[in-house]
């Protein structure tokens, strides 16, 4: 009698470590895919404005707004995981401007093999990625878009273009830096 009971206990004991291993593996896999919550659908987008402080902005007006659509499951793939749009309202001296109009976040393939693909930007950011992005103006130089998925559910986008220091350079070749803090909204951000 004790032998049968001992066998049952022995089988249960062997199953527990296996169950624990499966549970742990599932948790790890779920943790790897936790960025999926940052994905948008057709009814939502990330919307926001440029950071107003002049130390965080060069070559961009304080009136610029951004919209981002994102498929976060594609952040590590070869295809563009999202698109950005910008909008700057017209003034008395300048017409409405759209620096980006559905520009793809283009993966930079060699980065996948470089430590720069795993850069950190401080606390509160769950994931950081880097993409190339081309302005609407065909002759304008491309930029880098640093994307940070924040632990509060928002997204930061930093646009960087080294540009030319020549004061006579065309607008599409001038330096740009801007940081946008975006939150998920219903709709298309009003533009």
Residue 89 has phi, psi (to 5 degrees) of -60, 150
Q: Can you tell me whether residue 138 is helix, strand or coil?
A: coil
CA distance 164 to 175: 6
Q: Are residues 63 and 146 in the same domain?
A: yes
CA distance 151 to 165: 37
Q: What is the DSSP letter of 154?
A: -
Q: Can you tell me whether residue 33 is helix, strand or coil?
A: coil
Residue 107 confidence (pLDDT)? 96
Q: Are residues 57 and 24 in the same domain?
A: no
Are 105 and 131 contacting, i.e. CB atoms less than 8 angstroms apart? yes
Residue 182 lies in a domain: yes
Residue 20 confidence (pLDDT)? 45
Q: Are residues 90 and 24 in the same domain?
A: no
Q: Are residues 101 and 177 in the same domain?
A: yes
Q: List the structure tokens of 128.
A: 């950081």
Q: Are residues 160 and 86 in the same domain?
A: yes
Residue 191 lies in a domain: no
83 versus 114: the higher-pLDDT residue is 83
Q: Are residues 77 and 24 in the same domain?
A: no
Q: List the structure tokens of 75.
A: 């952040």
When divided into structural domains, the chain yields a total of 2
Q: Are residues 41 and 124 in the same domain?
A: yes
Q: Are residues 19 and 42 in the same domain?
A: no
pLDDT in tens, 37-75: 999 999 999 999 999 888 889 999 999 999 999 999 999
pLDDT in tens, 117-161: 778 888 899 999 999 999 999 999 999 999 999 999 999 999 999
Q: Are residues 98 and 126 in the same domain?
A: yes
Domain containing 131 equals 35-186
Q: Are residues 166 and 81 in the same domain?
A: yes
Q: Are residues 16 and 87 in the same domain?
A: no
pLDDT in tens, 84-118: 999 998 888 888 999 999 999 999 998 888 888 77
Q: Are residues 16 and 59 in the same domain?
A: no
3-state secondary structure 65-79: EEEEEECHHHCCCCC
């Amino acid at each position: 009698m004790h032998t049968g009971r001992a066998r049952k206990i022995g089988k249960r004991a062997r199953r527990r470590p296996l169950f624990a291993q499966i549970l742990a593996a599932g948790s790890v896999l779920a943790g790897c895919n936790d960025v999926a919550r940052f994905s948008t659908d057709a009814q939502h987008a990330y919307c926001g404005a440029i950071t107003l402080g002049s130390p965080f902005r060069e070559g961009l007006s304080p009136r610029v707004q951004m919209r981002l659509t994102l498929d976060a499951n594609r952040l590590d793939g070869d295809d563009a995981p999202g698109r950005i749009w910008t909008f700057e309202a017209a003034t008395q001296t300048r017409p409405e401007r759209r620096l980006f109009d559905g520009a793809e976040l283009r993966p930079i393939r060699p980065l996948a093999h470089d430590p720069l693909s795993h850069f950190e930007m401080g606390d509160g950011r769950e994931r950081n990625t880097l993409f190339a992005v081309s302005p609407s103006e065909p002759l304008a130089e491309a930029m880098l878009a640093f994307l940070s998925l924040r632990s509060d559910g928002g997204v930061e986008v930093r646009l960087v273009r080294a540009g030319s220091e020549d004061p006579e350079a065309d607008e599409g070749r001038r330096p740009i830096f801007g940081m946008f803090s975006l939150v998920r909204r219903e709709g298309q951000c009003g533009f």
